[in-house]
Amino acid sequence: MTAMKWSFPLVLLPLAAMAQRNDAAYCNALIEKYQAHVVPMYGRGSMPPPIDGDQAVAQCKAGDAAGGIPVLERKLRNAGFDLPKRD
């Protein structure tokens, strides 16, 4: 039974690392689409892009996918864009 206690957390470590990589890749895909499509929409007018979008990009780039993903998803949806596919 002791071996079972120790093997379970060891299995979770690779799964957690894989999830973080997937989140980082998804964050990067969101950033790419946000910067290519949403940010230029603000350049057409006199308003700068919203600060929360820039903060979400910074969070993703800093490794905080959980903080950046929801904001970027909302920004893309609100602008009428489909979200990139998430692996």
> Tens digits of per-residue pLDDT, 22-41?
999 999 999 999 999 998 88
pTM of the model: 0.75
Cα–Cα separations (whole angstroms), residue 12 to 6, 21, 24, 66, 74: 11, 14, 18, 19, 30
In a domain, 32, yes or no: yes
Give residue for tokens 């910067």.
35
Domain presence at residue 65? yes
The verdict on residue 8 lying in a domain is yes
87 vs 3, higher pLDDT: 87
Q: Is the pLDDT of residue 10 over 70?
A: no
Cα–Cα nearest to 60, from 50, 48, 72:
72
Number of domains the chain is built from: 1
| pLDDT at residue 18, rounded to an integer | 64
Within a domain: 16:
yes
Is residue 50 domain-resident? Answer: yes
| Residue 85 located in a structural domain | no
